[in-house]
A and B are shown apart, each in its own frame.
Chain A
Amino acid sequence: AQSVTQPDIHITVSEGASLELRCNYSYGATPYLFWYVQSPGQGLQLLLKYFSGDTLVQGIKGFEAEFKRSQSSFNLRKPSVHWSDAAEYFCAVSSPSGATNKLIFGTGTLLAVQP
């Protein structure tokens, strides 16, 4: 079955520290990969996406993610976290051959930022 695993439910980092959020997927073939962020009262916002090509992708707000096929992973990174990055982060996949482009989400990682 297709699934996305985000092993860390909560992460706390200090402002200015680096961040890495983990994402692993189980899929028949290489899916399309996404990271979304959800702030309280806000809709999900797309941070970045990977379809093919360069395995290091840059997104908005200074985030990047690296696709590693051998590890079925798509980890999200940021070199220096800001207090405004506190939010919930979701990794998601979709099928390149799917007719609907429906997204399959992980359970999310809640990020807290300490001053």
Chain B
Amino acid sequence: DTGVSQDPRHKITKRGQNVTFRCDPISEHNRLYWYRQTLGQGPEFLTYFQNEAQLEKSRLLSDRFSAERPKGSFSTLEIQRTEQGDSAMYLCASSLGTGATDTQYFGPGTRLTVL
């Protein structure tokens, strides 16, 4: 197991620019999650994929956010027209299972700073 990897680890952008983050889950994990963590807070759920299907999106995920998981492997999270309020750590997690008891394994996160 190489673990969940995320790229880039850090991203600094100017307000109004678009950014894209990538997550590579643990091999063969069918479930993939995105969370957002702001300073002093715990992670908040953004969206969930089972294989390539996006099955749930949080109300936190505005129209400027889009996530994909083509072919059920890696996933991308794109933020369009970034705002300063988007500055946060974006965490990806993956798990293997179909029930309610599988364990989520987290990546190191991508820290986004919007100037």
Chain A 89-115 residues near chain B, CB threshold 8 A: 90, 92, 94-108
Contact partner of B55 (CB less than 8 A), chosen from A42, A92, A100, is: A100
Chain A 2-55 residues near chain B, CB threshold 8 A: 4, 32, 36, 41-46, 49, 51
Contacting pair B43 A44 (CB below 8 A): yes
Contacting pair A107 B103 (CB below 8 A): no
Contacting pair A102 B42 (CB below 8 A): no
Contacting pair A107 B102 (CB below 8 A): no
Which residue in chain B gives the minimum CB-CB distance to A43?
A: B106
Docked Cα-Cα span, A43 to B95, in Å, equals 14
In the complex, per-residue mask of B35-64: 1 if CB is within 8 Å of any chain A CB, else 0: 100001111110010000001100000000
Residues in chain A near residue B109, CB distance under 8 A: 43
Docked Cα-Cα span, A94 to B48, in Å, equals 14
Interface presence of B25 (CB below 8 A)? no
Number of residues on chain A facing chain B (CB within 8 A): 28
Number of residues on chain B facing chain A (CB within 8 A): 27
Residues in chain B near residue A45, CB distance under 8 A: 106
Contacting pair B4 A32 (CB below 8 A): no
Interface presence of B69 (CB below 8 A)? no
Which residue in chain B gives the minimum CB-CB distance to A92?
A: B42
Residues in chain A near residue B91, CB distance under 8 A: 43-44
Residues in chain B near residue A51, CB distance under 8 A: 101
Given A43-B3, A43-B107, A107-B41, 19 more A-B residue pairs with CB atoms under 8 Å apart are: A4-B42, A32-B100, A43-B4, A43-B91, A43-B105, A43-B106, A44-B43, A44-B106, A97-B100, A99-B55, A101-B31, A101-B104, A102-B48, A102-B56, A103-B45, A105-B43, A106-B42, A108-B40, A108-B42
